[in-house]
A and B are shown apart, each in its own frame.
Chain A
Amino acid sequence: MKYPKINFVKLLKDYKDGWVAISSDFKSVVFHGKDLREVMKKTKSSKEKIYYFPAGQSYSNFVG
């Protein structure tokens, strides 16, 4: 089974910092905030499963 690609370039297009809340189908950002606490406060009443991810401008050159 091949899973669909999760495209963070599209998801984070309008967000360069803070954290985003991503829908359970991984296709849209439902909330954005300056930090994780703010985003979680915004999603508190949401019944949908939410995935949280830090919005950054560059994820390259990571060596771990």
Chain B
Amino acid sequence: MIIPYSPLPDFKSRSVLAPLIPVTFYNGKYEFSTFALVDSGATGGVISTVIANALHIKWEKIPVMYGFTVGGTLRSHRFNSLKANIYDHEFSLSMGIVEGTSPYKCILGQRDLFQRAKIIFEAYKNQFELVFREYN
């Protein structure tokens, strides 16, 4: 499937393009739908604490882990029992719950979406291709 980059607001140039996809997360009976940034540079996916709260995840009780961003370190709480549905493909995933994420509150990376699909970025066409792996 071909997915156009999404235009987002920007101060200077009025818009910036980013690879975003709709995703629905499930934590037991609770679900939450949002848009995730597809980030090939992210080791693993993250959601913000506000999304974790919406999914009724008691993230405060999960031990803190420290990770790195290009600008410094981040505090994360690893949650291993989440399910995601993207374009009718459902899979389990482990996500880091991060305090104070901005501007994106949900990012998918190498340990989750990139394990499930071949992803080809074509920024020169303002689009990316997502091909989910077939499982027998």
Residues of A within 8 A of B (CB): 1-10, 12, 26, 35-37, 40, 49-54, 56-60, 62-64
Q: B interface, how many residues as a size bin?
A: 35 or more
CA distance A55 to B65 in the complex (A): 28
In the complex, 21 of the A-B residue pairs with CB atoms within 8 angstroms, ordered by the A residue number, are: A1-B2, A2-B2, A2-B127, A3-B3, A5-B5, A6-B4, A6-B6, A6-B22, A7-B7, A12-B8, A37-B54, A40-B54, A49-B24, A51-B33, A54-B105, A56-B9, A58-B11, A59-B8, A59-B9, A62-B103, A64-B69
Q: Are B42 and A51 in contact (CB under 8 A)?
A: no
Q: Are A9 and B8 in contact (CB under 8 A)?
A: yes
Which of A7, A51, A62 gathers most chain B CB within 10 Å?
A62
Chain A residues, CB < 8 A from B51: 36
Which of A3, A35, A57, A63 gathers most chain B CB within 10 Å?
A3
Chain A interface mostly: loop
Q: Are A50 and B33 in contact (CB under 8 A)?
A: yes
- Segment among B12-20, B88-96, B110-118 that sits at the interface with chain A: B12-20
Q: Are B35 and A53 in contact (CB under 8 A)?
A: yes
Residues of B within 8 A of A (CB): 1-16, 18, 20, 22, 24, 32-35, 37, 39, 41-42, 50-51, 53-54, 69-71, 102-105, 107, 127
CA distance A51 to B103 in the complex (A): 17
Which of B2, B8, B35, B50 gathers most chain A CB within 10 Å?
B8
